[in-house]
Amino acid sequence: MVLTQPDATATRPEPKARPVRRLSRPDRASRTRGAQRFLLLGLVLATTYSVFPVWWLIVAATKDQVGLYQTNGLWFSDFHLWENLEQLFTYNDGIFLRWVANSFLYAGVGSLGGTLVALAAGYGLARFDFPGRKAVFACVVGSFLVPIAMLTLPLYLLFSELGLINTVWAMLIPCFINPFSVYLAKVYTESAIPYELLEAARLDGAGEIRIFFSIVLRMMTTGGATVFLLAFVGTWNAFFFPLTMLRGEEMWTLNLGLYNWSGMRMQSGVDLTSLVITGCLLSILPLAITMIAMRRYWRTGVTLGALK
Amino acid sequence: MIRSLRWKGAAFTAPFQLGFVFVYLLPIGYAVYQSLFVERRSGLGLGGGSTTEFVGLDNYERGLTDPVFLGAIGRVFLFACVQIPLMLGVALLVALLLDALTSRLTSAFRIGLLVPYMIPGVVATIVWVNVYSPDVGPLTDLGRLFGWSWNFFAPEMVWPSIGNLLTWHGIGYNMLIIYAALQAVPREMFDAARVDGASELRIALSIKVPYVRGALVLTGMLSIIHMLQIFNEPQLFRSVTPQTVDANFTPIMIIFNQAFASGNYNYAAALSVLLALFLGVASFLFYRLTTREAD
């Protein structure tokens, strides 16, 4: 390494030194191989760190309560995955499946509605010049700074007045209004929908609503999918909001249910660790599958999100 | 643009605007309104009625001098100042390693490193709580193998335990962003540097790092500000070890507690307005500072 200090040679007045260093090619190649080995080692360490808790989770999900407490956590003992799954699905009249369904309902319907609202708003903001446009956009960006607690608490009071607490609507209505989705939709519209196209459609006599539904929405499938995916992940992962809004366990999301089961041991001495672990493994699957299947979309979304 | 067309354009944003008023502006207004009152229970609270009284800014005064609230802000801020630079540093290192690797394994590593990002935060916390657990977790056995005995739920270990979990969860996502930025660096610059005899380490430090430094500082500062809202992880730790994480551990936990455990909505509303103001002002100042620097 010391030999290749570039500044040391660059400041040297005589240019003779350079060819000498260039000649030492084989030496350089072996050094590169050594460096690559070092890179590999670093990456293997980082990847092991990233993957091992998930490995532990998979292994632990195959053990019964006894194996869980008494055998080495990082390797399999007796295989009990099917019994664990059966127990998980039948415990408390199959409440776990209810939570799965709820999570899909809130995240799926909420994001679908939110994406439609956001695409319309983003299109309106990007391609029309109306009074108050700047104010609307300022609201969108400004709301990024509003902490969830600031909204959740008064929304709770508001929803209690309206009798919406512990109903589907308490989860869905806030999902329909997602400023970050609007921001993304605006950015996507700006890059995907040319003004000329809209002008041409208008000249052909198409109405604005028809233009939006049959031209704009169709050209925005990629952008729309990204907006949907990010909103879905956000709602699926939500914790603080459902914790305040949903009281009865039949309304809970997966997150709330698993949280409750984890705390059981402290509160009432019922040890559900084995159920929690199997439940955690299952709850990872939908998100992982969606993200892998739609990775093309979230990659662009993630980079845009970073720019925000 | 034709007048009617303008209004049609506005109509596209109408559903959002309407919803925004209902879900954002109305609650914010309501929170501010609530924060100006105080509820006084007559009698001993049992059966006695209660009266609501206008007290102006009293709740804010109480919040600004409340050692529990200020302590929680300080605690979380200090934690964020350590954890976030650490996490971004590791993410940068991993991204640099990945960028310099000339092997077909690159994509396999990238997928492995992104595994934590695909796991919901609450589930990640539950998994780590169990990994830390002295009863079922593998780390206690592993530590014993090397002669260490660690207790991840000890009072002095709570922040390191939470910090490790957040770092684990965040490395992949941040690595992805930094890696994407590194890929955008023109490759000819590296070739030119190599011809001039620069080592790969030198290229990484003198070309690649300065290229992403601006973005890193920005996301780092914004993440520190956002960290003040941390709730899920400590709350989950609390459900497992209530003796180490108290109910007033972070600002949002205090607000949640004031509202739902003590039924003190007015004070909770004032605290959430204070927190929002604090976050807003800090983000705005920081944003101003960095954009001016960039000009």
Nearest CB neighbour to B236, from listed A46, A131, A259: A259
Which residue, among A12, A32, A49, A50, would best test binding to B if mutated, counting the most B CBs under 10 Å from its CB?
A50
Higher confidence at residue A187 or residue B219? A187
Residue A17 has pLDDT above 90, yes or no: no
Which residues of A fall within a CB distance of 8 Å from B98? 43
The Cα A298–Cα A304 span in angstroms is 10
Higher confidence at residue A68 or residue A156? A156
The Cα A305–Cα A179 span in angstroms is 12
Average pLDDT value for residue range A31-40:
77
Contact A85, A278 (CB under 8 A): yes
Handedness of CA B247, B253, B255, B256 (dihedral sign): negative
The whole-number pLDDT of residue A19 equals: 44
Name the amino acid, one letter, at A228.
Answer: F
Nearest CB neighbour to A145, from listed B26, B255, B283: B283
The whole-number pLDDT of residue B214 equals: 78
In the structure, what pLDDT confidence band is assigned to residue B3 with cuts at 50, 70 and 90? Answer: low
Nearest CB neighbour to A157, from listed B30, B109, B196: B30
Higher confidence at residue B193 or residue A68? B193
Higher confidence at residue A38 or residue A241? A241
* Mean pLDDT comparison of A106-110, A148-152, B93-97, highest-scoring range: A106-110
Q: Which of residues 137-196 of A touch B (CB under 8 A)?
A: 139, 143, 145-151, 153-158, 173-174, 176-177, 179, 182
Nearest CB neighbour to B202, from listed A6, A50, A150: A6
Nearest CB neighbour to B113, from listed A9, A47, A129: A47
A72 part of contact set with chain B, CB < 8 Å: yes
In the structure, what pLDDT confidence band is assigned to residue A62 with cuts at 50, 70 and 90? Answer: confident
A97 part of contact set with chain B, CB < 8 Å: no
Q: Which chain B residue is nearest to residue A291, measuring alpha carbons? A: B118
The whole-number pLDDT of residue A25 equals: 47
Average pLDDT value for residue range B210-232:
84
Higher confidence at residue A9 or residue B116? B116
In the structure, what pLDDT confidence band is assigned to residue A172 with cuts at 50, 70 and 90? Answer: very high
Give one DSSP letter per residue of A81-141, joined into a string.
Answer: HHHHHHHHHHGGGGHHHHHHHHHHHHHHHHHHHHHHHHHHHHHHHHH---TTHHHHHHHHH
A51–B196 C-beta distance less than 8 A? no
Q: Which chain A residue is nearest to residue B118, measuring alpha carbons? A: A288
The Cα B223–Cα B220 span in angstroms is 5
* Mean pLDDT comparison of A34-38, A233-237, A285-289, B98-102, highest-scoring range: A233-237
Q: Taking the domain A92-307, which CATH number applies? A: 1.10.3720.10
Which residues of B fall within a CB distance of 8 Å from A149? 229, 231, 251-252, 255-256, 272, 275
B268–A139 C-beta distance less than 8 A? no
B84: closest CA of chain A, how far (Å)? 15
- Give the pair of three-digit tokens for residue A39: 């890179």
- Give the pair of three-digit tokens for residue B248: 């007033």
In the structure, what pLDDT confidence band is assigned to residue A82 with cuts at 50, 70 and 90? Answer: confident
In the structure, what pLDDT confidence band is assigned to residue B108 with cuts at 50, 70 and 90? Answer: confident
The residues pairing with B38 across neighbouring beta strands, listed in sequence order, are: B53
Average predicted confidence (pLDDT) for chain B? 85
Nearest CB neighbour to A262, from listed B6, B10, B239: B239
In the structure, what pLDDT confidence band is assigned to residue A27 with cuts at 50, 70 and 90? Answer: low
Task: State the pairing for strand pair B50-54/B37-41.
Answer: antiparallel
Domain boundaries, chain A: 30-79, 92-307
Higher confidence at residue A145 or residue B54? B54
Contact B226, B251 (CB under 8 A): no
Residue A18 has pLDDT above 50, yes or no: no
Q: Is 1.10.3720.10 the CATH number for B75-261+280-294? A: yes
In the structure, what pLDDT confidence band is assigned to residue A245 with cuts at 50, 70 and 90? Answer: very high
Residue A111 has pLDDT above 90, yes or no: yes
Residue B294 has pLDDT above 90, yes or no: no
A18–B197 C-beta distance less than 8 A? yes
Gap between the terminal Cα atoms of chain A: 40
Average pLDDT value for residue range A122-128:
92
Residue A4 has pLDDT above 50, yes or no: no
* Mean pLDDT comparison of B126-140, B185-199, B254-268, highest-scoring range: B254-268
A121–B24 C-beta distance less than 8 A? no
Which residues of A fall within a CB distance of 8 Å from B255? 149, 153
The Cα B95–Cα B163 span in angstroms is 20
Average predicted confidence (pLDDT) for chain A? 82
Write the CA distances from A248 to A104, A261, A274, B93, B260, integer angstroms.
17, 14, 23, 46, 15
Average pLDDT value for residue range B271-291:
84
B115–A50 C-beta distance less than 8 A? yes
Average pLDDT value for residue range B19-29:
92
Average pLDDT value for residue range A204-233:
88
Average pLDDT value for residue range B107-115:
87
- Give the pair of three-digit tokens for residue B119: 């796991």
Tokens 């009074």 -> residue: A131
A244–B115 C-beta distance less than 8 A? no
Q: Which of residues 224-283 of A touch B (CB under 8 A)?
A: 236-237, 239-240, 244, 255, 258-259, 262-263, 265-266, 273, 276-277, 280, 283
A93: closest CA of chain B, how far (Å)? 22
List the one residue out of B88, B174, B162, B86 whose CA is nearest residue B128: B162
The whole-number pLDDT of residue B2 equals: 61
* Mean pLDDT comparison of A19-28, A140-149, B161-170, highest-scoring range: B161-170
Higher confidence at residue A31 or residue B180? B180
A158–B26 C-beta distance less than 8 A? yes
Residue B43 has pLDDT above 90, yes or no: no
Higher confidence at residue A305 or residue A231? A231
Domain boundaries, chain B: 75-261+280-294
Residue A305 has pLDDT above 70, yes or no: no
Nearest CB neighbour to A150, from listed B19, B112, B276: B276
A173–B22 C-beta distance less than 8 A? yes
Q: Tell me the percentage of chain A whose pLDDT exceeds 70.
A: 85
B115–A51 C-beta distance less than 8 A? yes
A237–B199 C-beta distance less than 8 A? no
